[in-house]
Amino acid sequence: MSWFKSRLWLIPAGMSVLALGAGYALVHYRFEIPLDASGTLWLFSGDPATARGLLSTIVSGMMTMTSLVVSLTILVLAQAARQLGPRLIYNFIGDPAIQAALGLFVATILYCLFILRSINEDLGAQGVPRFAVTLASLLTIACLFALLAYISKLAHSIVSDTAVREVGDNLDAAIDECPCRSDHADDKIDVDEESREHATRRCIGMEQSGYVQFIDYDALVKTAGRQDIVLIIHTEPGAFLLQKGDTVEVRSKAPVDKRVERDIRDGFVIGPARNPEQDLQYSVRQLVEIALRALSPSVNDPYTATAVINRLSASLEKAGARELSTKYYRDRAGRLRVVASNGGYAPVVETAFTQIRAAAEGMPAVLMVLAERIQDLLHSAELPEQREALLEQLQAIRWTIAQINEPEDRRKLEAIVAGPMETS
């Protein structure tokens, strides 16, 4: 899915095909026009020369408009790359609204060119495809309104709050894909005991290098159930793999053949870059990058960093109720089939707050917000490992208090940090 979203040309190509198909239908399948409708305002009623002139003007204007839009897009992307980070460009070009606007411009140009070449002045007034020319005018009007919406979208895209919200939504979507934490026995199962009948063990690699973009756990469960094997996955979405390695441990009653190994590899999508589909760390790193650029001396924008901290905290609160460490997948008969090992809650907290805290040294306003959000997260933390990860961040903030010159700021920050540290 992420591959399709990041391709700027897919929606424009589809809209262009539809436009050409509509043009072909309107030109080659004539519609009977009542005599009293040929002179209405909404239907084109000119001769072939007028139709060709109108379509030529539309094509010329639309090409100019499209060139303007492309120029504006390049400028905005360059500005966004400097201000927010180059990795956020994928979020912009993957926006369906952006792709649809560009698709409308390109489709209108191709449609008008097709209709223009089909009009022959020797056919006379009755040979003019009036519905087709009328549709060209309507598409032009639609493009004008689409241009206004596109410019508004461009203006909002370089606002840091918009970028923080969109990346945060991607992070929440990835969190929602994680199973809810429960108190079932799966939290304490003995994998070796449940797979004791599968004495044959072999580790396989993916035979290609790159980032793990997606793991199809359902497909792996079906493969494992069909072959009566147990799969222990030693990687997670977002990890970088080499061609050879112990990516998946296969436990079986008898040695598996190459076909089964191929089916297992088909459950993994390996690509040249990370994506937010299952990778929590990807979106977290994007938000952290926005905050680090905002805290750089050249920008010095603590308000954007504060917005990032608040957004990360909201997502971490949701993540606290999800199972982020080991996941167990069973078949319909209840047999253990796939064991997936992920980093858990602590690495996500470390990625979210460590670099921001280090960049905010000497900025008490940012450190206060960071300490307050960590204190809020401690109130909702239910597991000991969650509290431990959050308390480590508070302890690190305490170590940076000495670098703050203003005594009142030090006092306020010490009061925020001391509360949960003492009660723990």
Domain count across the chain? 3
Asked if residue 221 and residue 189 are part of one domain, the reply reads yes
Asked if residue 123 and residue 196 are part of one domain, the reply reads no
Within a domain: 301: yes
Within a domain: 179: no
Per-residue confidence (pLDDT) for residue 2, from 0 to 100: 56
Q: What is the mean pLDDT of residues 14-42?
A: 74
Asked if residue 205 and residue 127 are part of one domain, the reply reads no
Asked if residue 243 and residue 390 are part of one domain, the reply reads no
Asked if residue 287 and residue 259 are part of one domain, the reply reads no
Asked if residue 28 and residue 149 are part of one domain, the reply reads yes
Question: In which region does residue 249 sit, left (phi positive, over 0), alpha (psi from -120 to 50) or beta (all else)?
Answer: beta
pTM of this structure:
0.81
Asked if residue 95 and residue 28 are part of one domain, the reply reads yes
Residue 249 banded pLDDT, cuts 50, 70, 90 = very high
Asked if residue 297 and residue 267 are part of one domain, the reply reads no
Domain containing residue 200: CATH number: 3.90.1170.30
CA distance 94 to 89: 8
Taking the alpha carbons at both ends of the chain, their separation in whole angstroms is: 44
> Which residues span the domain enclosing 78?
2-158
Give me the DSSP letters along 40-57.
Answer: -SSS----HHHHHHHHHH
Per-residue confidence (pLDDT) for residue 172, from 0 to 100: 92
Residue 41 banded pLDDT, cuts 50, 70, 90 = low
Mean per-residue pLDDT over the chain, rounded: 87
pLDDT digits (tens, 9 = 90+) for 87-134: 777 778 778 888 899 999 999 999 999 999 888 776 666 678 888 999
CA distance 259 to 335: 22
Backbone angles phi, psi at 269, to 5 degrees: -110, 115
- Spell out the residues 6+ positions from residue 250 whose beta carbon is closer than 8 angstroms to its own: 201, 202, 203, 204, 229, 230, 231, 256, 260, 261, 264
Asked if residue 396 and residue 262 are part of one domain, the reply reads no
Asked if residue 115 and residue 66 are part of one domain, the reply reads yes
Within a domain: 335: no
Q: Which amino acid is at 293?
A: R
Give me the DSSP letters along 95-154.
Answer: -HHHHHHHHHHHHHHHHHHHHHHH--GGG-GGGS-HHHHHHHHHHHHHHHHHHHHHHHHH
Query: Using alpha carbons only, what angle is made at residue 137 by residues 30 and 25, rounded to the nearest 5 degrees?
Result: 25
pLDDT digits (tens, 9 = 90+) for 125-184: 667 888 899 999 999 999 999 999 999 888 888 888 889 998 999 899 889 888 787 644
Asked if residue 392 and residue 246 are part of one domain, the reply reads no
Q: Are 222 and 329 in contact (CB under 8 A)?
A: no
Q: Are 230 and 336 in contact (CB under 8 A)?
A: yes
Asked if residue 195 and residue 103 are part of one domain, the reply reads no
Per-residue confidence (pLDDT) for residue 183, from 0 to 100: 43
